[in-house]
């Protein structure tokens, strides 16, 4: 079986991103693959529907600037160069898949909370990415790993 050549690591930029990144870094080192990082900003209009009675553009711009600097800080800390960083607007599961495909990734790495009950029914980003993914997907267990 061929080794992975290009990994797309999806990060929500919470403190859980580091253990997920560590898995991607380990695969990268053992296969000499290229590592790309994607963070998706969900537009406020998508999160709250189109009918919020105020102009959200200033807040959206602030969120964008903040995400840009957090992504830069995170990528600097794991040694991912600028041209391998992707800051995208849209729905995370769709945009993670699209960015992986557009960049020819053969592995997507995401975190997974291993939810159950109602949270499982509501779905997660990892589930969304897996369905219809253009390549292999590694879901790295994060959060409370002792929970059953
Ligand atoms: P969730 O269980 O939906 O909170 O998401 C778990 C994982 O999905 C995270 O560890 C990331 O790998 C990925 N993810 C969630 N939100 C985003 C986002 N906005 N941008 C990129 N990846 C994300």
pLDDT at 115 over 90: no
- Domain-located, residue 85: no
- Domain-located, residue 102: yes
- Cα dist from 100 to 10, 47, 74, 114, whole Å: 9, 23, 19, 23
Q: Look at ligand 1, atom 12, and give the residue with the nearest C-alpha.
A: 110
Q: What is the mean pLDDT of the chain?
A: 90
Residue 98 and residue 57: Cα distance in Å, rounded? 25
How remote is the CA of residue 95 from the centroid of ligand 1, in Å?
11
- Domain-located, residue 146: no
Q: What is the CATH number of the domain that holds 46?
A: 3.40.50.620
> Which residue range(s) make up the domain with 99?
6-79+91-141
Confidence of residue 116 (pLDDT cuts 50, 70, 90): low
Name every protein residue with a CB atom under 6 angstroms from any ligand 1 atom.
10-12, 16, 20, 38-40, 92, 96, 110-111, 113, 124-126, 142
How remote is the CA of residue 39 from the centroid of ligand 1, in Å?
8
- Domain-located, residue 84: no
pLDDT 10s digits, 28-80: 999 989 999 999 999 887 766 666 677 778 889 999 999 999 999 999 999 99
- Domain-located, residue 59: yes
Residue 108, strand partner residues? 8, 137
Average pLDDT over residues 92-111: 97
Which pLDDT value is given to residue 84? 98
- Domain-located, residue 148: no
Pull the structure tokens for residue 48.
């709250």
At residue 58's C-alpha, the angle toward residues 53 and 60, to 5°, is: 85
Which pLDDT value is given to residue 45? 75
Average pLDDT over residues 115-119: 65
Q: Look at ligand 1, atom 17, and give the residue with the nearest C-alpha.
A: 12
Residue 35 and residue 22: Cα distance in Å, rounded? 12
pLDDT at 147 over 50: no
- Cα dist from 63 to 97, 114, 133, whole Å: 22, 28, 28
DSSP 10: E
Report the number of secondary-structure helices (H) and strands (E) in the chain.
6, 5
How remote is the CA of residue 1 from the centroid of ligand 1, in Å?
28
State the total domains in the chain: 1
Average pLDDT over residues 98-127: 85
């Amino acid at each position: 079986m061929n080794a992975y050549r290009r990994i797309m690591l999806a990060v929500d930029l919470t403190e859980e991103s580091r253990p997920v990144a560590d898995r991607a870094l380990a695969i990268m080192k053992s296969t000499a693959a290229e590592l790309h990082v994607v963070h998706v900003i969900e537009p406020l209009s998508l999160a709250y529907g189109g009918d919020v009675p105020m102009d959200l553009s200033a807040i959206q711009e602030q969120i964008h600037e903040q995400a840009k600097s957090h992504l830069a800080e995170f990528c600097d800390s794991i040694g991912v160069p600028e041209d391998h960083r992707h800051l995208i607007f849209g729905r995370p599961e769709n945009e993670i898949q699209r960015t992986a495909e557009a960049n020819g990734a053969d592995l997507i790495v995401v975190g997974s909370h291993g939810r159950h009950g109602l949270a499982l029914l509501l779905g997660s980003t990892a589930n969304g990415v897996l369905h219809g993914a253009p390549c292999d997907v590694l879901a790295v267990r994060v959060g409370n790993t002792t929970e059953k």
